[in-house]
Amino acid sequence: MTNDNNTILIVDDQQEILNSLRRIFQREYNVLTASDGNEGLQLLQQNQVKVILSDQRMPGMDGVTFLKKANEIQSQAVRIMITGYADIEASINAVNEAKIYQYVSKPFEPDELKLVVKSAVDRFNLAKKNEELKHKLQEQNEILQKENTDLKSQFSQQLDLGNFIGYSAPMQRVFKLVKKVMNTPTTVLLLGETGTGKEMLAKMIHYNSNRSNKVFVVQNCGAIPDTLLQSELFGHVKGAFTGALKDKKGLFEQADTGTIFLDEIGDTSQALQLGLLRVLQEGEIKPVGGTQTKKVDVRVIAATNRDLITDVAEGRFREDLYYRLNVFPIVIPPLRQRKEDIPDLVNFFVKKYSQRINKNITGVSQNVLSCFTNANFPGNVRELENEIERMVTLADENTTIGTDIISDRFLKEHKETDNVMEYSQLKPAIEKVEKALISKALMQTSGNILKAAEQLGVSRVGLHKMLNRYEINAADFKNNN
Ligand SMILES: Nc1ncnc2c1ncn2[C@@H]1O[C@H](COP(=O)(O)OP(=O)(O)OP(=O)(O)O)[C@@H](O)[C@H]1O
Ligand SMILES: [Mg+2]
């Protein structure tokens, strides 16, 4: 099909009319003419036209019939009929079906006809533009949608690698386990002291699993009274207790096909433990006050910082439930057993909190870092995170955070001897000793590199190299801060 930009088709059985119309339009348009409907339809099969001008009274196929068929071939072409009003009224239905844009009554004025055709061409062009815009919009939409899913998958990757800090060997072992269990429906039990990242890891497991686009719900089992917790988790039926005015769906039903994270699982009552056993064993829940059980498909991740084995031994925790939960335990080691992670965590949190309040902070001083690596962190990563949030808030713009604003408890611990034996590998332990001795020498010499090098028994160049390697800034020690 030829794709002429400005083609109009004229159909009339009278040759002299065709000739005069051609003369009127040929300067502005590429004019095709046909002397009957069939010839007109043939031309439409081969040429794209913007406007069709047709006579109504023609032997064989009349104008309305022709325009109706034309509509089936090129619906975009704008249709104009040249006719007497009497003819229109006689066949108004057929005229509607042919979707005629305008009628021109005979005899027509050439100028009037020119105007009509011009506005029909404009109409065609507008419709075409509209169509193109719609297309473009749709394309844009598709691109946006794709970007959206890309972002989503980037987000899960971020959870996988970026946000969860842990290059130390013990954390790498944790990640290995996580990767193994991630895409299974297996129940996972996360064990670890407070603040070690159990909840964060539970999220990471869910958002990297094949359930990632399903619901992830969290329930802290230690925070609310037992009866309420039962109804939260398993739902209740109307009238189960005072105030149960209608049936309520529990979290297990809401999380169907998704994941539920049960925090502080060790704090649950015997009654609730029985309900949990039913879910884990049969994949069923029974709403409070109900008699019917319901099937659910929920991946359970549980966590506790309690010693469940002792709880089992002392009769506080059902042994059968313990075994159901303990299918795939993952122990997150306390921060004091993976001090290699501290510098990364510090950098991560400094960035996080300084960006949050839009304050430029260049980092923390070597002294602050050694305070942290010497600390015990009973509150683990959460404690470190809170301390850094506090220091970033206190720190002046464009500075490196020094020990002048560190909490006292870290300073005190800093003075106690550091135990290098906590490291399992030689390299980080040696680095630690080197860093500590360099920091000590710089502190004692108020940041004088020459004197510190003498004290350490190394050359000035040698000390410089080490300072660079460990990113220690001698100037930080000038005021002994
Ligand atoms: N490896 C890590 N990398 C980055 N942030 C971490 C890491 N571990 C923990 N965090 C942060 O520390 C805080 C505490 O983590 P989380 O709430 O997951 O700990 P938890 O083990 O569930 O603690 P609790 O037992 O007290 O509930 C959170 O703000 C979390 O984002
Ligand atoms: Mg938690």
CATH classification of the domain holding 50: 3.40.50.2300
Q: Please report which confidence band the pLDDT of residue 153 belongs to, taking 50, 70 and 90 as the band edges.
A: low
The more confident residue out of 305 and 141 is 305
> What are residue 10's DSSP bridge partners?
33, 53
Q: Are the C-beta atoms of 73 and 44 separated by less than 8 Å?
A: yes
HSE (side-chain half, CA atoms, 13 Å) at 453: 14
Residue 379 has pLDDT above 60, yes or no: yes
Whether residue 134 is contained in a domain is answered as no
As given in the structure block, the two tokens for residue 65 are 């019939």
The residue range of the domain holding 277 is 163-332
- The span from the CA of 61 to the CA of 98, in Å, is 13
Average pLDDT of span 204-213: 89
Instruction: List the single range of 214-223, 259-268, 276-285 with lowest mean pLDDT.
Output: 214-223
**109 and 244 within one domain:** no
* Bond preceding residue 185 cis, omega within 30 of 0: no
**177 and 98 within one domain:** no
**75 and 178 within one domain:** no
- The span from the CA of 465 to the CA of 422, in Å, is 27
Q: Please report which confidence band the pLDDT of residue 272 belongs to, taking 50, 70 and 90 as the band edges.
A: very high
Q: Which ligand is nearest to the CA of 198?
A: 1
Percent of the chain with pLDDT over 70: 90
Q: Are the C-beta atoms of 120 and 9 separated by less than 8 Å?
A: no
Average pLDDT of span 167-193: 92
Whether the CA torsion 113, 114, 118, 124 is positive or negative: it is positive
SS3 content of the chain, % helix, strand, coil (to 5): 55, 15, 30
**321 and 351 within one domain:** no
**189 and 222 within one domain:** yes
Q: Is the CB of 192 under 6 A from ligand 1?
A: yes
Distance of CA 118 from the midpoint of ligand 2 (Å): 72
Q: How many domains does the chain have?
A: 3
Q: Is the CB of 445 under 6 A from ligand 1?
A: no
Strands 259-263 and 216-220: parallel
Residue 463 has pLDDT above 90, yes or no: yes
**460 and 328 within one domain:** no
- The span from the CA of 317 to the CA of 309, in Å, is 8
Whether residue 139 is contained in a domain is answered as no
Name the one residue in this structure whose structure tokens are 């939260």: 232
Residue 398 has pLDDT above 80, yes or no: yes
Residue 139 has pLDDT above 90, yes or no: no
Average pLDDT of span 399-415: 81
**112 and 188 within one domain:** no
Name the one residue in this structure whose structure tokens are 């004197």: 451
Tell me the CATH number at 417. 1.10.8.60
Question: Final residue of a domain: which of 266, 301, 332?
Answer: 332
**344 and 282 within one domain:** no
Distance of CA 199 from the midpoint of ligand 2 (Å): 5
Supply φ then ψ for residue 58, to 5 degrees.
Answer: -140, 145
**194 and 111 within one domain:** no
> What are residue 7's DSSP bridge partners?
30
**Nearest-CA neighbor of 386 among 418, 410, 358?**
410
- The pLDDT tens digits of the residues spanning 53-84 come to 999 889 999 998 999 999 999 999 999 988 87
Angle, alpha carbons 107-111-114 (nearest 5°): 100
Whether residue 145 is contained in a domain is answered as no
- The span from the CA of 4 to the CA of 50, in Å, is 9
Whether residue 142 is contained in a domain is answered as no
Cα-Cα end-to-end distance for the chain? 83
Residue 242 has pLDDT above 90, yes or no: no
Q: Is the CB of 164 under 6 A from ligand 1?
A: yes
| pLDDT at residue number 109 | 85
**Nearest-CA neighbor of 120 among 67, 72, 69?**
67
**405 and 319 within one domain:** no
Tell me the CATH number at 310. 3.40.50.300
Q: Are the C-beta atoms of 182 and 205 separated by less than 8 Å?
A: yes
Name which residue sits closest to atom 7 of ligand 1, judged by CA: 197
Instruction: Classify residue 265 by its DSSP letter.
Output: G
Angle, alpha carbons 246-251-254 (nearest 5°): 85
**377 and 306 within one domain:** no
Q: Is the CB of 200 under 6 A from ligand 1?
A: yes
| pLDDT at residue number 143 | 73
Which helix (H) or strand (E) is 11 found in, with range?
Answer: strand 7-11
**300 and 422 within one domain:** no
Name which residue sits closest to atom 13 of ligand 1, judged by CA: 382
| pLDDT at residue number 271 | 87
Q: Please report which confidence band the pLDDT of residue 156 belongs to, taking 50, 70 and 90 as the band edges.
A: very low
Residue 175 has pLDDT above 60, yes or no: yes
Q: Is the CB of 196 under 6 A from ligand 1?
A: yes
Q: How many CB atoms lie within 10 A of CB 333?
A: 19
Average pLDDT of span 92-116: 81
Question: Final residue of a domain: which of 297, 332, 367?
Answer: 332
Q: Please report which confidence band the pLDDT of residue 158 belongs to, taking 50, 70 and 90 as the band edges.
A: very low
| pLDDT at residue number 149 | 62
Strand order in the sheet with 7-11: 30-34, 7-11, 51-55, 78-83, 102-105
Whether residue 150 is contained in a domain is answered as no
Whether residue 53 is contained in a domain is answered as yes
Could you give the residue ranges of the DSSP H alpha helices within 183-330?
198-207, 226-234, 251-254, 270-282, 308-313, 319-325
Which helix (H) or strand (E) is 140 found in, with range?
Answer: helix 110-157
The one-letter amino acid code at 129 reads K
Whether residue 138 is contained in a domain is answered as no
Question: Final residue of a domain: which of 277, 307, 332?
Answer: 332
Whether residue 408 is contained in a domain is answered as yes
